[in-house]
Amino acid sequence: MIWSGSCHCGVVRFEVNAELDELTTCDCSLCVKKNAVMAKVHESALTVLAGEDALSLYQWNTRRAKHYFCSRCGIYTFHRKRSAPDHYGVNVFCLEGFDVASLPIRATEGVGMSVAPQGARPQWPGPRGREA
């Protein structure tokens, strides 16, 4: 299935070519504040059609995850995932005609993703220390 997506002002437009079967929330400090509900898609399933130059990048903690926002209207569109670097988390509220109630929502743990190796779960790939 192909989903069309955009930010609020329409400058950033993208497509997701994927069968969505689950949504997630995250309890990290950023996702809680942006109240994100996301669909996980492989990087090959996301295509930015317009406004790539208008995307603003936000990184924190290990700087592994890359969170993209429209620099004009401020809407979070998608992010490259820290836990699965070859996947994106897509803001499902940006997808045209998508019914959030149609899929189960699974809560994921982000608050415990440590910067340092102590206690980091093995299923979370990627760097365990600060990147430059």
Contact 2, 90 (CB under 8 A): no
Determine, yes or no, domain membership for 60: yes
Length of the chain (residues): 132
CATH number at 46 reads 2.170.150.70
Determine, yes or no, domain membership for 81: yes
- pLDDT tens string for the chain (132 positions)? 999 999 999 999 999 999 999 999 988 888 888 888 999 999 999 999 999 999 999 998 788 889 999 999 999 999 998 888 899 999 999 999 999 999 988 877 666 655 544 555 566 555 444 443
Domain residue limits at 57: 2-108
Selection from 71, 1, 10 nearest residue 41 by Cα: 1
Distance CA 9, CA 45 (A): 23
Amino acid 132: pLDDT: 34
Determine, yes or no, domain membership for 19: yes
